[in-house]
Amino acid sequence: MPDQKPIDTLNGFAEPGQRLVGPDVFEEELEAVLSACDPQVGILGPESVSWEVFSQTAVWFGAMRANLLQTTHPGVATALVEKSKADTSTRLETTIAFVDGVVFGTVEQARELAHMLHGKHMAVSGRIKVAGGVYAEGDAYEGNDLEALWWVLATLIDTAVALYGLFIRPLSPAEKDRLIGELPPLGAMFGIPRSALPADWASFRAYFTAMLEGPRTCITDTGRAAAANVLAVSGPSPMLRLVRAMTIGWLPPAVREGYGLRWDAKTRAVSAVGHRLVRAYLKLQRPEKRRAQGFLDARVRLGLSPLP
Indicate the pLDDT class of residue 237, thresholds 50, 70 and 90. Answer: confident
What are the b/e assignments for 192-209, b being 16+ CB within 10 Å?
A: bbbebbbeebeebeebbe
Q: Check residue 12 and give its pLDDT.
A: 47
Indicate the pLDDT class of residue 86, thresholds 50, 70 and 90. Answer: low
Reply yes or no on whether the pLDDT at 115 is more than 70: yes
Distance linking the first and last C-alpha atoms of the chain: 45
Weakest-pLDDT range from 29-33, 88-92, 175-179, 226-230: 88-92
CA distances from 178 to 31, 37, 51, 57, 166 (A): 23, 18, 12, 20, 19
Q: Check residue 238 and give its pLDDT.
A: 87
Mean pLDDT of 29-38: 94
Q: Check residue 6 and give its pLDDT.
A: 37
pLDDT per residue as tens digits for the range 126-183 = 999 999 999 999 999 999 999 999 999 999 999 999 999 999 999 999 999 999 999 9
Indicate the pLDDT class of residue 288, thresholds 50, 70 and 90. Answer: very high
Percent of the chain past pLDDT 70, that is, above it, reads: 92
Q: Which position has the higher pLDDT, 92 or 183?
A: 183
Q: Residue 34 and residue 226: Cα distance in Å, rounded? A: 34
Indicate the pLDDT class of residue 268, thresholds 50, 70 and 90. Answer: very high
Reply yes or no on whether the pLDDT at 10 is more than 90: no
Q: Is the dihedral of CA 263, 264, 266, 271 positive or negative?
A: positive
Reply yes or no on whether the pLDDT at 283 is more than 70: yes
**Mean pLDDT, the chain, as a whole number?**
90
pTM of the model: 0.92
Map 106-167 to HEC letters.
CHHHHHHHHHHHHHHHHCCEEECCCCECCECCCCEEECCEHHHHHHHHHHHHHHHHHHHHHH
pLDDT per residue as tens digits for the range 249-259 = 999 999 999 99
Reply yes or no on whether the pLDDT at 215 is more than 50: yes
Mean pLDDT of 223-229: 93
Q: Residue 168 and residue 56: Cα distance in Å, rounded? A: 8
Q: Check residue 18 and give its pLDDT.
A: 54
Q: Check residue 88 and give its pLDDT.
A: 66
